[in-house]
Amino acid sequence: MNHFNPEQALSETRREFGEHGGVTPSISRSSTFTVIDPETMPEIFGGIRGPQQGGCFLYSRHFNPTVDILARYLAAMEGTEFAVCTASGMSAISCALLQLCRNGDHIVSSDTIYGGTHALLEDLLPQLGITTTFVDPTDTDAFKKAITPKTRVLYTEVLGNPTLKIADIRALSKLARAEGLSLVVDNTFAPMMISPAHLGADVVVYSMTKYINGASDLVAGAICTTKAMVHQLMDLHTGRVMLLGPTMDPRMAYDIIQRLPHLALRMREHSRRALAVCRRLEELGVAVVYPGLDSFAQHDLATGLINRGYGYGGMFTVDCGTRDRADDLLDELQNKEDFGYIAVSLGYFDTLMSCSGASTSSEISPDDQKKMGLSPGLVRLSIGYTGSLEKRIEQMERAVTAVGLTNK
C-alpha cells in the first residue's frame, strides 16, 4: 500500500479565508478586474505579470481568485503542481487530450471506460484526425503492443467503468516514460483512495460531478497536472481550456471548496458500507464484483495501488445475467425496498444504481460491450451512506432473494 496521505496534504496547503475574517472563502464573482497601473496592462494580458508577480487578475475565463483556490486545493490533494477546474468532467478529458494530440496523432486507451469518453475517442476525435486503439486495461503489454510512432497518449481509468477492472498505473507510467508518452488517468471513481500522480501519471482528470462534490447537484471537472501543462491549457493563442472555453463559475468552485474537507470521511464510509454489503452478497452466492473482496481477480493489485485507510471505494456490480433480471432487481431495490434510486451517475450520499449496458455504457456497441466483459445484466451500484447499514443489508438480502440471484 502507499503512504501518501491526500487528506493530510490537503490540510497542509495554505487555507484561504474570506473577507472580514470569514472562516469560508469569499466568492469573487467579477468577470473582469481593475488594472491600477495602465502601463502594466500588456504584461498582465500577456500572462507575464499575474497576481503573484505584482500584477492582478484580468478576466475570469483565464483565472479567477475563487476558482484558483479550488485548483490549488485539488493540486495539493493530488500531489500535482497545479490544476485547472472546468465546467464538466467531459470538458476536462477532451481539453486534456486535445492539448496533447494534434491531427495525425494516436492514443492507446483502455476499452473499459466511461461511455462519453469512449464516444469521444471512437467517434469525435477521428473527425479531427486523432485515432485511438482500445486495449484491455489489465494487460500492460497490450498497451505496449498498440503503440505506434504516432502515439502521444496512454489513457485509462484506474477502476474501469463499469467492470471495475484495474489498470496497473505504475507499470503504465513506466511504459509511458520509456516511450516518451503522456499517461492520462481518469480518477473519478477513486479520489483520495488512489493518487495517480504519485503512481506516475502525468495528467489526472476528474468528473467532480461524482464523489468529489458528492451531492449530485452540480456538473464540474478538473485537470490536475504540471504547471507547464496548465500554462499550455490556458495559453492565449492555443490553450484548449482558454479558447474552447469550458470555464468553471466561481459560485460552483465555492460549493466544491466547501465539500472537499469531508471528502475523505465520505470515501471511507462509502467503502466501509460497500465492503459489508458485498461480503453479505458473496455469502449468499450472488455474482458480486468489488475490489475489496478477496475473490476479486485483481485484489492484490488494488491493494498495492490504494492509499492506506480509504478502503476500496463505493462502487460494485451485481451480474443478474439478463437485462430483464437486472430490471427486476432495480425495481425491487428502488420500489419495494427503498434501498436506493435508479439513476445514472455515482458518488451521491444515497445509493444510485443502473443497468450499465442500457445506460451509461450504451454509447458502446453490443460487440464492444461483450469484448470489455460487460454483461447485459450487469447492475452497477454506487453505495450511499444514508440509513442504518444493518437495515440496508436486510433490504439487499430480500431483493436478491426475490429476484432469485442467490444460490443458497
Ligand X SMILES: *Cc1c(COP(=O)(O)O)cnc(C)c1O
Instruction: Report the interface residues with ligand X, using CB under 6 A.
Output: 88-90, 114, 116-117, 157, 161, 186, 188-189, 207, 209-210, 219, 221
Shortest Cβ 70–ligand X spacing (Å): 15
Q: How far is the CB of 161 from ligand X (least distance, A)?
A: 5
Of 116 and 340, the one with the shorter C-beta distance to ligand X is 116
Please identify, using beta-carbon distances, which residue of 49 and 118 lies nearer to ligand X: 118
Minimum gap (Å) between residue 229 Cβ and ligand X: 19
Among 269, 323, 263, 318, residue whose Cα is nearest residue 293: 318
Q: What is the residue-wise DSSP string for 259-295? A: HGGGHHHHHHHHHHHHHHHHHHHHHTT--EE-TTSTT
CB closer to ligand X, 44 vs 352? 352
Question: 355 vs 399, which CB is nearer to ligand X?
Answer: 355
Alpha carbon 163 to its chain centroid, in Å, reads 15
Cell 477546474 belongs to: 85
Closest approach, Cβ 63 to ligand X, in A, equals 21
Coarse DSSP helix, strand, coil percentages of the chain, rounded to the nearest 5 percent: 45, 15, 40
Nearer to ligand X, 1 or 344 (CB): 344
* Closer Cβ to ligand X, 133 or 359, answer by number: 359
Residue 141: phi and psi, rounded to 5, are -60, -35
What is the per-residue burial (b if ≥16 Cβ within 10 Å, else e) of 263-289? bbebbbbbbbbbbbbbbbbbebebbbb
* CA distances, 229 to each of 95, 163, 221 (Å): 11, 31, 16
> Grid coordinates 503503440 are at which residue?
147
